[in-house]
Amino acid sequence: MDRRFVIDTGENKEYMKALGMELLEFGKLFPSQSGASYYLGDDGKPWTDRPRETWITCRMAHVYSMAAMAGFPEGRELAAAAIRGLSGELKDKNAGGWYAGITADGQALPDKQCYAHAFVILASSSAVLAGIEGAEELLEEALKVYDEKFWDENEGLAVDTWDTGFTVLDDYRGLNANMHTVEAFLAAADCLSDEKYRQRAGRIIDRVISWAADNKWRIPEHFTKNWEADLDYNKDKPDDPFKPYGATPGHGIEWSRLISQWAMSTALTKERRAHYTDAAVKLYERAVEDAWNADGACGLVYTTDWDGKAVVHDRMHWTLAEAINTSAVLYRITNEKKYAEHYSMFSEYLEDVVHDHVHGSWFHQLDRNNKLLGTVWPGKSDIYHAFQATQIPYLDVDRSIAYSMSRKDVLALGELLIDFTCNGESEQGNMLFEANPGGAPCNVLAMLTRLGKRTGFIGKVGDDQFGRLLRATLDEVGIDSRYLMTDEDVPTTLAFVHKLADGDREFSFYRKPGADMMLGVDDIKESMFNTKIFHFGTLSMTHENVRSATMKAVEIAKKKGCLISLDPNLREPLWADLEEAKTQMLKAISCCDILKISDNEIQFVTGMEDYDQGIQKLRDMYEIPLICLTMGKDGSRGYYKDLRVEVPAVRQSRIVDATGAGDTFCGSVLGYICDNGLDDLTETDLKEMLSQANAAASLVTQKKGAIRSMPDIEDIRKLRTS
């Protein structure tokens, strides 16, 4: 088997990444002037004579929000355009909710569809996670409309279609809209930390499993208003794009993935979780058995009758996308080799048959002989299913896709500023200063990014040239800047760094006030904290406004189960009162799981000259699992449970700039914890962690500045083996 199609190989990861990037490039032309999405043709060019539909616009908002999270250059702009379309011409300002679409000549399409409204929830949830302007308001309104018009609390299911004015409810009930409702509810639950929506998804899932189990694991799709299955619905129009006759194997596969996600994300007993994963397996295996190679040719047929015989033999691209997704998810959950083999089989078929190597994207509809067809899905309307198939195989199985993609290894909060470092003298004998992007939290994140970790930053800069430089720098080094805010009134904080004779530094700050101090409690949102580790320092605790914001962030991070990391980073000139500095440092220390503290800081905060005694005093006061002490040229120590490990520094013959050495050390330590966790560390683990961190800190002193000067893992290895 070609290793490009074998899950967990480097070749498959690169293959899927390349496919995803190709899809994002293909779909870039979707936005109309209003932001509503055009239907895309075979070559990705808009078909402007077709309606601009809500469900397509939602899918594009969802995809390009994820693209923004993944660093796709135009992702944020394109996601914002789609959100603008959903907040603009597609929204019914009179009756409420969203039109099905807008025709080419500007007329609203009839009816209000549950299907489309579920996608508005999905789109806005993803856009909130991507930090797209207007998304929070859109999500709030989408949930309100859905709750009032589509959710039937008594049945635990969603109704399907209203007239445009929300006055007449159609008698039809269907599971396609309910399936995408489950998808949307799981996304909203993750985005908002509101378990009500996960519980609702579970109620829908219970009904679907019951109906499928009674029907040989082929899911009835169409129902009367009393939720009685109508197995002959659309028998005279079997290839309907949204309501086809018979069983739809692709939906059986998609339900399998959604049920798996719900079961893995919900607090269940082992037995109850097994009930749901067993149902997911049965749905998937029934669908694949019925649909794959059903007529002697590769591919998954669109529909079957209730005995599993193919009705519509066409191959739809979305069915294949879901097969790739679900085989990967079931492999993760069960560890059974057959699902990895299915994944390879589907991926190979994708590359050989469905992937359009000429125009890009995937062929949306092929006939029974795998020849291009356009009777149900002409052109390539959107990239939603295909793009998700390039991402889901390598994302968390217990979370919705956008939430999983937005998940950070480390999120930091604090100051982002310009470090002006001395760079010689001018011809006139004046000191020359170089403007280096800096600030301890982002220095830590820059090191982590060099180690391949996903990072994000919360803070404020001024609306000035320095603020713009800092934002561009974060983007350049790969730190997610979506939560970097701009203060229109207060300038970016500046620091002048003076090098002392021993290589250490002295700081002069211009921060009376600085923009970083303007971060307030209202700027801190729960949706920001999708991270393994939350890191902060005490420069964000010098003044009440930013101190309150910092403590709110710590509170949310703890609530969300994040590890809390702290580097006090004492800068005496920034405190009006050093006793207050000590009080606030101890308050911060009381909250953390990982403490990186310097030799002078442990003496300051405990009043003890002996480092070990100072550390023990902190450990007696607070239960801190891991403490790392940095001692400059004397190396570092780690304290974990009953272990105390000391590792000597990696000496350099000269120091160019020690700015950020401690931050680099901290970033390296957090990178190690990201990889190895904080439980059951051994003496060997601590020695390795400290040795790597010492080497990284040593390397950064050989260049000026910090954020752009971080070493990568190969640099560190070379130094340690030299």
Catalytic residue ranges: 251, 385
Report d(CA 287, CA 322) in Å as an integer: 11
User: In the β-sheet with 494-499, what is the strand arrangement from edge to edge?
Assistant: 431-438, 417-425, 494-499, 505-510
Q: What is the DSSP string of 222-257?
A: EE-TT--B-TTTTTTSTT-SSS-SSB-HHHHHHHHH
Contact 320, 354 (CB under 8 A): yes
Both structure tokens of 607? 């009043």
Q: How many CA atoms lie within 13 A of 178 on its CB side?
A: 29
Both structure tokens of 79? 């996601």
> Distances from the Cα of 15 to the Cαs of 20, 320, 382, 701, in angstroms?
9, 16, 21, 38
User: In degrees rounded to 5, what are phi and psi of residue 607?
Assistant: 75, 15
Contacts of 433 (CB under 8 A, 6+ apart): 420, 421, 422, 423, 496
- Closest to 63 (Cα-Cα) out of 403, 402, 479, 530: 402
User: In degrees rounded to 5, what are phi and psi of residue 420?
Assistant: -85, 110
Q: How many CA atoms lie within 13 A of 150 on its CB side?
A: 34
Q: How many CB atoms lie within 10 A of CB 572?
A: 10
Burial of 74 (C-beta count, 10 Å sphere; 0-12/13-18/19+): middle
Report d(CA 591, CA 613) in Å as an integer: 21
Query: What's the per-residue H, E or C state across 291-334?
Result: HECCCCCCCEEEEECCCCCEEEEEEEHHHHHHHHHHHHHHHHHH
